[in-house]
Amino acid sequence: MSSEFQQPQGSHDIKRYIPLLVILMIGLFLAILNQTLLNVAIPHLITEFGVSANTAQWLLTGYMLVNGALIPLSPFLIERFAVRRLFLFAMFCFTLGSLICGLSTGFPVMLVGRLIQAVGGGVLAPLVMTIIIFIFPPEIRGKGMGIFGLAMMFAPAVGPTLSGFVVQNYDWHLLFTGMVPLGVIVLIFAFFSLKDIQPPKKVKVDGLSVFTSLAGMSLLLYGFSEAGNDGWDDTVVLSTMIAGAVLLMIFTIRQLRIEKPLLDMRIFNYGIFSLASVINVVLTISLFSGMFLLPIYLQTIRGYSPLDSGLLLLPGALIMLVMSPVSGTLFDKLGPRPLAIFGMALTTITTYFFTRLTMDTPYTFIVVLYMFRMFGMSFLMMPIMTAGLNQLPKHLSSHGTSMSNTLRQVSGSIGISLITTIFTNRTTFHMNEMEGAMSTADPFFMTSFHDFVQKVAVSLHLPVSQAQQQAIQILFGKASQQSSINGINDAFIIATVISAIGLVLSLFLRDVRKDKVREAAAPVPQKEEVLLLPAPKNVS
């Protein structure tokens, strides 16, 4: 019996991979789920461990940094260790980390568990995507990537809902102990059924590439993660982002010079892959804007519970679950352009309607609108990514999947930081405007204020002096609420503009499967697609 995968010969041949695909998707789902699982549980962990909010935040930041830093290394790891050994190692790390988190009684142990989880999680997404690209030939690859999208899109959307339900009804440790048996099942099944796409190779490790990649990604992601809270002009934020950008620039130059690059930058010689990458960056920023802003609006401003806030996102997540395989099948029949135009148009329109939120916007309206937004998104992420990856020859597939996942991680961090900054700055702007309107020098305002004080005194049975203080608190509370809503609406305006940019870019997508000359059969891209990156030199 062969120890390697046999290339499928058609859709019928692919059916024998269904059990394996199911187990791969479970492993990937668990890894991606952990990116958003703790968002709702952080307040409980602050109380449980007796730590500050900034300290507890490292459970999220640490996971993101390790996860993001390892993704660019995945092509080298896949080539060096092959998919079977690497998948088993990644799932073992993830399961072990989950067990440590589930048994932890203190913050340091919990943090160690999260970092071990991230080691496995950072490798799984590009690894599973590489396996899917091998199993599914280009003519039906949309279906395969649609299956991949089940985990990629559904997991982060359902994470807050699941976390809110568990934290509200059970012990938070269940968030991690519940993953251990699933991780063990995945490990056992993968041990007996997973085979290698190709045998492992003895690839020389370029130390400078590894260092600049790990350090650069970590610093850049950390800078973006802190920018939303501390501001883009903060010294630490600026220094880490600049240092990260410089290191990644050195990494890029190095990859273009060495014979065996860690991450082959020649993937950007392929025009459709480059265009698809830009569109997916835009799309990820737009996606995270809704996932970030709506819980703030519902919990902080409207007073809904974390579970109610999470439940708002659940129907949209279920839409993604149902539509992801459907959109993959449609991609195989129609190509990327019609799906991208329809999806981006619907996403842009629904995002615009989120710029009209008020204190009285019905919960049901928000749920339905978010469902339509996710319906549009379901036609975008995987089809557009597949359109780009289809243009790459097989020897660059793992590099393409790694870059796609790296850009997704970075653009997610950029999106959250950008939207946070816009929301914070515009909220402050609107609050200052309202405070200026409540001037004691304005006779109309003072008349209205005195009338309001009288109403408060009568309704609460208070003397005028106390009623005046109460009225001031009420007015400033209302002003703060309205300022926050206005800030959220302004942030959604920017998200609408970003989505519209994605819509314009989607007009230029095309289906590379229809090309007369396939790039996969040639070592050099077609002339019209080449962006003139230099060929690598043999530099030690």
What CATH code is carried by the domain that includes residue 337? Answer: 1.20.1250.20
Residues 194 and 286 in one domain: no
The pLDDT value given to residue 8: 52
For residue 216, being part of any structural domain is answered with: no
Q: Clarify whether residues 178 and 298 are in a common domain.
A: no
* pLDDT for 519: 46
pLDDT number for residue 515: 59
Are both 287 and 179 inside the same structural domain?
Answer: no
Same domain, 192 and 294: no
The predicted structure's pLDDT at residue 216: 87
User: With contact defined as beta carbons under 8 Å apart, do 327 and 339 qualify?
Assistant: yes
Low-confidence ranges of the chain (pLDDT < 50): 1-3, 12, 516-522, 525-535, 539-540
In a domain, 252, yes or no: no
Range of the domain at 353: 281-437+454-508
- Length of the chain equals 540
In a domain, 329, yes or no: yes
Among 280, 268, 265, 250, smallest CA distance to 414 is for 280
pLDDT digits (tens, 9 = 90+) for 175-215: 899 899 999 999 998 888 777 767 677 777 778 888 988 88
Domain count, the chain: 2
Q: Is the dihedral of CA 412, 288, 150, 168 positive or negative?
A: positive
- Decide if 428 is inside a domain: yes
Give the DSSP letter string of 437-466: HS-TT-HHHHHHHHHHHHHHHHHHT--HHH
* Contacts for 294-299: CB closer than 8 Å, 24+ residues apart: 294/354, 294/366, 294/370, 295/160, 296/423, 296/484, 296/488, 297/357, 297/484, 297/485, 297/488, 298/363, 298/366
Candidates 313, 300, 32, 284; CA nearest to 160 is 313
Q: How far is CA 539 from CA 60, 76, 209, in A?
A: 38, 17, 12
Same domain, 391 and 302: yes
CA distances from 165 to 16, 257, 283, 292, 309 (A): 37, 51, 28, 18, 11
Residue 528 lies in a domain: no
Last residue of a domain, one of 187, 203, 219: 203
H or E segment at 34?
none
The answer to whether position 45 is within a domain reads yes
pLDDT, residue 291, reads 77
Q: Which residues pair with 441 in a beta bridge?
A: none
Contact assessment for residue 284 and residue 415, using Cβ atoms and an 8 Å cutoff: yes
DSSP-derived secondary structure for 329-350:
HHHHHH-HHHHHHHHHHHHHHH
* Number of neighbours of residue 120 by Cβ within 10 angstroms: 27
My answer on whether 193 and 305 are in the same domain is: no
| Number of CB atoms found within 10 A of residue 318's CB | 15
Among residues 229, 177, 179, 236, the alpha carbon closest in space to that of 33 is found at 179
Orientation angle between helical segments 306-334 and 381-389, nearest 10 degrees = 40
**Residue 521 maps to a domain:** no
Q: Give per-residue pLDDT as tens, 483-492.
A: 889 999 999 9
Distance CA 480, CA 503 (A): 35
Is 198 in the same domain as 291?
no
First to last CA, the chain: 39
- 187 with 287, same domain: the answer is no
DSSP string computed for 160-187: HHHHHHHHHHS-TTHHHHTHHHHHHHHH
CB 212 within 8 A of CB 247: yes
Cβ atoms of 159 and 35 within 8 Å: the answer is yes
The set of long-range contacts for 322-326, using a CB threshold of 8 Å and a minimum separation of 24, is 323/375, 323/378, 323/379, 324/146, 324/147, 324/149, 324/150, 324/153, 324/154, 324/378, 324/382, 325/143, 325/146, 325/147, 325/149, 325/150, 326/146, 326/378
Distances (CA, A) of 22 to 18, 28, 191, 193: 6, 10, 14, 12
Do both 116 and 17 map to the same domain? yes
66 CA to centre of own chain = 15
Q: Which residues, in sequence order, are CB contacts of 293 under 8 Å at separation 6+?
A: 354, 419, 423, 488, 491, 492
pLDDT of amino acid 518: 47
Same domain, 403 and 489: yes
| Structural domain contains residue 449 | no
Q: 425 and 332, same structural domain?
A: yes
Find, among 416, 419, 420, 423, the residue nearest to 486 by Cα.
Answer: 423
Report the alpha-carbon distance of residue 117 to residue 65 in Å, rounded: 12
The residue out of 147, 181, 203 marking a domain boundary is 203
Model pLDDT, residue 532: 43
- Pick from 203, 226, 243: which residue ends a domain? 203
